[in-house]
Structure 1
Amino acid sequence: MGTTIIPTMRYRDAAAMIDWLGRAFGFERHLVVEDGAGGIAHAQLVRGEAMIMLGSARDDAFGRLQQPPADLGGTTQSAYLVVTDPDAVHGTAKAAGAEIVMPLVDNDYGGRGFSARDPEGHLWNFGSYDPWA
């Protein structure tokens, strides 16, 4: 049996971020479950064969373990997405208001990429370098 890694994260305004992640980074809704109180209990977003899961920040046992970066004072991990056209993703992300924290560059180890923060502080990395190739 293989292993699949699916990044998970919490957002203060998960509903708004689901829309933003679609506009900025090209994610599509796979499953979105509201919590009945105006938040998101669980969401699955896909981009090609990649998936992320997210939900609203909340004060419960799991919510205290996983908090938005702003609540922690910084990012503790980030995702790297292999994309065929990092220039196009960069343009879309920038137009949607992503904070570009590392500019689009050609890397010494191969590929081209950049890093950006979403409006709630999660760090995202996009590049054409494919470690599996």
Structure 2
Amino acid sequence: MTEHTDSTTTGPAVFVTLHAHDASGLIDYYVETFGFVVTARYAQDDGTVDHAELRWPEGPGGVMLGTHRPDAAWSRPPGTVGAYVVTRDVDGLYERVVARGADILRPLDDTDYGSREFAVRDPEGNLWSFGTYAGAALPES
């Protein structure tokens, strides 16, 4: 199965890359639980996902993933990724992930550095933190 939707950004973007034992299931989880949007998916008839791209709907960047192939040149063991995603509606997203039974590692709370955030573990073991902290400003050159 192949789905592809052209998607553009207004500037540079960062993509988290990962592999999964059940890439199709993880894609569904990211869409249903976190709200990512599938923009490309290249899969074999047997369900193996060669490549998929999921965009974060609030800005540039997202996730690129595929089925784990230990002998591939670009291979990461499933469950070894950690990512932080900026969201404007952290309270609403938290309600969404709780309602879908996500494995909450750190409940929604305010941090000492001015963010409101929470952390979860996905079904493959990857760690995800969602919050309002958009990062420090770039230094002036």
For the aligned pair, the TM-score class normalised by the smaller chain equals 0.7 to 0.9
Cα distance in 2, alignment partners of residues 46 and 3 from structure 1: 13
Deviation at 1:36, TM superposition (A): 3.6
Identify the match of residue 48 of structure 2 among 39, 57, 60.
Answer: 39
CA deviation string 1:95-115 (max 9, x = no partner): 222111011100111020000
- The residue type equivalent to 1:25 in the other structure is F
What is the identity percentage for the equivalent residue pairs of Structure 1 and Structure 2?
39
2:25 alignment counterpart: 16
Pairwise CA RMSD of aligned residues?
Answer: 1.8
Cα distance in 2, alignment partners of residues 115 and 56 from structure 1: 24
Identify the match of residue 105 of structure 1 among 102, 109, 115.
Answer: 109
Cα distance in 2, alignment partners of residues 118 and 82 from structure 1: 17
Cα distance in 1, alignment partners of residues 131 and 95 from structure 2: 13
Instruction: State yes or no: 1:130 paired with 2:137.
Output: no
Cα distance in 2, alignment partners of residues 122 and 39 from structure 1: 20
Identify the match of residue 51 of structure 1 among 62, 83, 87.
Answer: 62
Dislocated runs of 4+, deviation >3 Å: none
Number of corresponding residues = 125
- Determine if contact 2:111/2:117 at 8 Å carries over to the other structure: yes
TM-score, normalisation: structure 1:
0.85
CA deviation string 1:48-77 (max 9, x = no partner): 2222100011232236x31102xxxxx4x4
Higher relative helix content: 1
